[in-house]
Structures are given as structure tokens and as C-alpha cells.
Amino acid sequence: MSLPIIDPSGLFDVRGKSALVVGATGAFGKVVCATLGQAGAKLAITAGNAQELATLKGELQAAGIAAVEIARRPNTEGDCDAMVRAALASYGRLDILVVASGMNDVAPIVDMTPERFQKVMLANVEGAWLIARAAGRQMIAQGGGGKVVFTSSARGKLGHPAGYSAYCTSKSAIDGMTKALGCEWGKYGITVNALAPTVFRSPLTAWMFADDEKARTVRQGFLARVPIGRLGEPEDLAGPLLFLCSRASDFHTGHIIYADGGYTAG
């Protein structure tokens, strides 16, 4: 057998691609914007807080990254259709969807109300389903395939003893949606995958990186389960994200990629 002729130079190239980033102002959303934007993609960024979104757009443009802002959350069909229309108006097509939005609400199940549970499910599951539906319609209509990346979590695979019944359930649902759409949209050349981080450095987790006794104790217990032996950094998510958004992943769909230092392997 002769040596395969493989040119890896353009495998991770997303230059000129149009990417809709939902939940762009969150910790992971900003990682997505920085990664895809600096790799040459054109961004349509969405979030519910218009002021934070405008600030992010300014930062992206100052870095030479093309970005259009849509101050909406994926709460309704109308919101999601508007997001897709805005991306099309600016860039002519939609190549990539990354759903980085979501929420958590921690409480023992006996203390959590159905309304609180439903709010988590709406934010993490129904919103992802609605925007995937709107983006998928456009990708199918325009042809040429596409990339959809959901945000899952190690908690979609593992339980948690501290009141995560809503969050774990929602992320397990994302995993199921990823697999279902991966099967459904394969014939269109649209890959659907999920990136599942564990703890990585962000404003919400900064306390866990601190040098006080509480942080050291919690960190030590957590790292006992992490073979790599450290907490995550934003750049640890950049590589798998770029893989899932580029043609390097054209034969990968319906997969959950755990960016967790081996946490879920044990």
C-alpha cells in the first residue's frame, strides 16, 4: 500500500466562514468568539444583555474580527429566525452554529420547584433545539453542509451530589439531541457534535483557582479525579472547538467531545 496523499494544511481552516454564536457573552461564548474570530471566521453574536453584547462586539472589532450583534436569546421561534436572518443579511449564508448559552440552578430536588426546573430545561434544551431548527433549515436550503456545535458537560454523563438534578438532566438531553440530529442531518453534510468541558478558568470559577484554604481543599478533591492533574484553561477548549467547526471533523457527527483532562474517563 502506498503512502496516502494527505494535505493537512487546510483541515482546520474556517477563514471566511459565517458563524452564529449563541450566548456569546458567557465564558464559553467568549472562547468561541476569540477562537473562531481569530481563525478568520465572520461572527454573528447573540446574547440577551445588549450592553454586554455591544462591548464584546467592540472588543472583537478592535481585534480585527468581523462581527454583527443580535441582542436576543433563543427563547422563541421568532427570536431564532431573527438570529439566522441577521447572519444571512450580513454574510449571505450560515456555515457554523455554536450554542454556548445556558444556565444552572443548584438545589436538592426536594427543594426545587417545577418552575425552576423548567427554566433550566428551557434555557439549556428548548433554546438549543429552537436555534438548531432555525439554523438547520437554512443550512439544508443553501446546501454545502454545515457545522453545529452544542455545549454539553461532564454532568451530562455523570451525576453530582450537590443538587444538579436539573442541570444533569438538561445536559443529558443535549447529548441525546446531538446524537439524534447527527443521524438526521448526515445526509445533508451537516455535522452535529457537542463539546463537553468540565471546570475551566472563567469569572464564575475564579474562586476555584484561588490560593485560599477553601479553594485548595475543593480543588484537591476535584483533581483527584482528573488524570491530567490540573483545572482547565480557555485554550484547552479552543482546539476541539476548531476541530468541530472545520472540515477536519467532516466524518465525525453525533459525538460528545469531553474536554475534561480525563475526568469522565475514570
Q: What would you report as the CA-atom Rg of the chain, rounded to the nearest whole angstrom?
A: 19
164 is catalytic: no
Rounded Cα distance, 21 and 46, in Å: 6
Rounded Cα distance, 225 and 228, in Å: 9
Helix, strand, or coil here: 101?
Answer: coil
Cβ neighbourhood burial of 162 (10 Å; 0-12, 13-18, 19+): exposed
Helix, strand, or coil here: 183?
Answer: helix
Beta bridge partners of 32: none
CA-based nearest residue to 53, from 41, 40, 67, 36: 67
Active-site hit among 167, 188, 258, 263: 167
Q: What angle do CA 91, 93, 94 make, to 5 degrees?
A: 105
Which amino acids are annotated catalytic?
167
